[in-house]
Amino acid sequence: MTHPLIIAVDGPAASGKGTIAARLAQTYGLPHLDTGLLYRAVGMGLLDRGGALEDATLAGMVAGGLDVRDLRDSERLTSRGAGEAASRVAGYPGVRAALLEFQRSFAGQAGGAVLDGRDIGTVIAPKAVAKLFITATPEVRALRRWKQLTGRGEVIAYQDMLADIIRRDERDAGRGAAPMVQADDAVLLDTTDMDIETAFDAARRIVEAARVRHGL
């Protein structure tokens, strides 16, 4: 039986991991799950119900009742506010536990899958064939996210974007439940000085090397 090609792509916000994961999925003909969308949908679902971001119990219930249809409004889910809400609810163990099974079964599909997030290589798919940890300096990531958000009409100053990114890194890496951390066997890819083509090419080479190692 051939090993399923599971590709885990982790890293901080606006590192390029989402684009890289989507393109890897396309290249290898695999399904792709942006796991950040799950946390974003929980954060927005909580706010939609009039809940406070401090309400871990309600956040856990929203996570437990999440439906794939809740992931459809990608414009809303990729807004700045949704990112902030996601990072807050992602710290609650009850939220993470409620989302675990869905992510594990997505990763366990017969032919394999590509998942991107913060804890894919460490918690969701520790046996993934290829693990990448994508990063870039906070300044470059803030600039990328600022261009993306202002390009579609959100009004935000670059300095505020940078402060957001730094605060989110601290929260995502500092939480007790499945913190953002590079897995021991993940390959680090720093995209600070790379355009997306160069970064994707480097990512593809990392996956190719992992496939060779696993005889795939």
Site residues, ligand DC (CB under 6 A): 13, 35-36, 39-40, 83, 86-87, 90, 117-119, 168, 172
Q: Which is nearer to ligand DC, 19 or 87 (CB)?
A: 87
Give min distance, CB of 215 to ligand DC, in A: 28
| CA distance linking residue 175 with residue 90, whole number of Å | 9
Q: Which is nearer to ligand DC, 14 or 30 (CB)?
A: 14
Amino acid at 204: R
Q: Which is nearer to ligand DC, 84 or 190 (CB)?
A: 84
Give min distance, CB of 16 to ligand DC, in A: 11
Q: Which is nearer to ligand DC, 44 or 58 (CB)?
A: 44
Give min distance, CB of 212 to ligand DC, in A: 27
Give min distance, CB of 37 to ligand DC, in A: 6
DSSP class per residue in 9-40: EE-STTSSHHHHHHHHHHHHT--EEETHHHHH
Other Cβ atoms less than 10 A from the Cβ of 72: the count is 12
Give min distance, CB of 26 to ligand DC, in A: 19
| CA distance linking residue 209 with residue 99, whole number of Å | 31
28's CB contacts (< 8 A; 6+ apart) are: 5, 7, 112, 114, 207
Q: Which is nearer to ligand DC, 16 or 117 (CB)?
A: 117
HSE (CB half, 13 Å, CA atoms) of 185? 16
**CA 73 → CA 11, 139, 151, distances in Å?**
23, 28, 18
HSE (CB half, 13 Å, CA atoms) of 13? 32
What is the maximum span of the chain, computed from C-alpha positions, in angstroms?
53
Q: Which is nearer to ligand DC, 5 or 95 (CB)?
A: 95
Residue 33 β-bridge partners? 115
Give min distance, CB of 39 to ligand DC, in A: 3
